[in-house]
Amino acid sequence: MEIIRDDLKIARYRQLGVITMFVSIGVLLLGLFVGSAQAWSLLALGAGWLLAQVSLYLSNRYVRKPRPDEALDEALQKLMAEKVVKRGRVYHYCLPTPHLLLTSEGIVILIAKYQRGVIVADGDKWRQTRTGLFNLNKYLGQESIGNPTREAEIALQGIINFLNKEVPQVEEVPIAVMIVFTTIANNQLDVQRSRIPAMHVSKVKGYLKQQWTKSKSIPKQDYEAIQQAFDKAARVNEFASSE
């Protein structure tokens, strides 16, 4: 399996995440110390909170270990080791969706989630319940679960639009979407009723292996055309690295 990753982008956003974290702490402390000037204090606290949200967003994706791309790679490498498919390439942070797997069986879009607590899905509805210490996170700026179903639909449409524009000669290619939780404990997930397949990262190998045993390989020329388009968009020979 080849892994195509925009390491420069990861390094840039990792650095930005660390910088904004320290700046947000400084601004929040400034807001506390200038309490006598209420307007300035509120302004500093508001700015500090916004910077903290930016830092949190970047840290979850580019600083936290393992990063979402690293957790996905580990699961996919185990799958490829069993030679279930003939060809496989993973793209991280260099296409219209952050994580994508191209195989001889088609395309798999991976929506990586890292929220904690108890996650429950029912159709298109998602609910996150924080317990214990993590319950404080909703007051301290922890990212909420949002709507992974909507994220998946947007990612799918983005890839469809990309293929229609860049490889119009490919008439049809199977595209699957998966919601994958990379940090949460598996026993805290109740997502079997999700309309879009959702699972813990440890279940990815078994799920894809089961799905691929039922599918046919796409034509070689279609695979190569899609790979060339993805590689061009990822600028493999310039910025992204291949492993």
Q: Could you tell me which of 143, 4, 131, 150 has the C-alpha nearest to residue 64?
A: 143
Q: How much is the mean pLDDT over the chain?
A: 86
Q: Which residues contact 29 (CB under 8 A, 6 or more apart)?
A: none
Read off the pTM: 0.85
Q: For strand 241-242 and strand 189-194, is the pairing parallel, antiparallel, or unpaired?
A: unpaired
Has residue 17 got a pLDDT over 80?
yes
Q: For strand 2-5 and strand 241-242, is the pairing parallel, antiparallel, or unpaired?
A: antiparallel
Higher pLDDT, 197 or 214: 197
Tell me the longest C-alpha to C-alpha distance in the chain: 70
List the domain boundaries for the chain. Answer: 67-242
Residue type, 163: L
Q: What's the pLDDT score for residue 53?
A: 86
Q: What's the pLDDT score for residue 131?
A: 58
Highest mean pLDDT among 39-43, 63-67, 70-74: 70-74
Q: Compute the half-sphere exposure of residue 75: CA atoms within 13 Å on the CB side of its CA.
A: 25
Has residue 9 got a pLDDT over 50?
yes
49: left (phi over 0), alpha (psi -120 to 50) or beta: alpha
Q: Compute the half-sphere exposure of residue 141: CA atoms within 13 Å on the CB side of its CA.
A: 15
| Residue 107 dihedral angles phi and psi, to the nearest 5° | -110, 140
d(C-alpha 109, C-alpha 101), whole Å: 6
Q: What's the pLDDT score for residue 170?
A: 93
Q: What's the pLDDT score for residue 136?
A: 44
Percent of the chain with pLDDT over 70: 86
User: pLDDT tier at 87 (50, 70, 90 boundaries)?
Assistant: confident
Token pair, residue 140, equals 């301290």
Taken as a whole, the chain contains a residue count of 243
Has residue 183 got a pLDDT over 70?
yes
Higher pLDDT, 202 or 32: 202
